Every structure is written in C-alpha cells, then in structure tokens.
Structure 1
Amino acid sequence: MPDEKKLVIHIRELTQKYDISLRELSRRSDIDIARLSELASGKRQRVNIDYIVRIAEALNISDIREILTLEDK
C-alpha cells in the first residue's frame, strides 16, 4: 500500500517570505482571516482551490508549489 500523503499549505512561510501580515494577505486575497489562520495552523483539512488561486494572485506567485506541497503523513 502506498505511503499516505497530506496536502500542506504554507501560509506562515508565505507571510514571512513576502513580509506581510495574515491580515494583509486576507485583505489582498479577499479570504477571511479566520480561514487563513485555520489553513496556517493545519486545523482546516480541506482547502477551496479558489483560495489557492487568490493567494497566488495576491502575492504574484506563478508556481503553485510555493503555496502547497504533498508530504508524507
């Protein structure tokens, strides 16, 4: 049986790399700060793909791997 994987959203790393607050990312992406916080802490297991697109647009990211990765559980 293949190793199980989990999707990891790199919100904290992105806010540090782009030197913006979670609140500013929320404003730029038009995603509720509570949702971003849940994604950042790993409390939210499912992510709306539209959120990924909005984060990419807000930070001018063209490589989705900067936002999320698949990692071993």
Structure 2
Amino acid sequence: MSKRVIVNISKLTQKHNISLRELSRLSDVRHAALSELSTGKRGNINFSHIERIAEALNIKDIKEIIDLVEVED
C-alpha cells in the first residue's frame, strides 16, 4: 500500500452547491485543471490552485480540500 494525495473537488462543488465552471470562475483556476484534479488525472498539485480554491470558497482548513488516502500499489 502507498499513500496518495487527492483533491476533493467534487465534494467541494456539492457542499457549496456550485458547478465546476463556477468554481473555476471564482478561483481563477482553469476549468480543465479542476476537472483533472477532480478525476485524479492530474499527478501534480499546484499549491497556488489550492490557495485560490480556499480563498474563493472561504475555507479555513486545508483538510476540506485535500485528503491523504491509501491506494493499492
């Protein structure tokens, strides 16, 4: 087993009742980047994206945005 950081884009959009496109507009993060983060297709996480998402949604705890999960090797 290894660990992997995931970004909870789907949970965030549901919790805040907004679309991915709206989150993109609010956070000034490209829609494609958010989509890749939400599906796990993006291997790198840009901390400025995390900061902008937190700012846009007024999130105080980074654990709302990212999780550390165990995955099969």
TM over 0.5: yes
1:45 deviation in Å? Answer: 1.1
Q: Partners in 2 of 1:59 and 1:45 — Cα distance?
A: 23
Alignment of 1:43-54 (within 5 A): 43-54=41-52
1:4 deviation in Å? Answer: 1.5
Alignment of 1:1-73 (within 5 A): 3-73=1-71
CA shift digits 1:16-68 (9 cap, x unpaired): 00000000000000000000000001000111000000000000000000000
Q: Name the TM-score, length of structure 1 as normaliser.
A: 0.94
Aligned length: 71
Gaps of 5+ in 1: none
The percent identity for this pair of structures is 55
Q: Partners in 2 of 1:4 and 1:32 — Cα distance?
A: 29
SS of 1:38 mapped into structure 2: helix
Q: Partners in 1 of 2:56 and 2:43 — Cα distance?
A: 22
Structure 1 moving runs of 4+ over 2 Å: none
SS of 1:12 mapped into structure 2: helix
Superposition CA RMSD, Å? 0.7
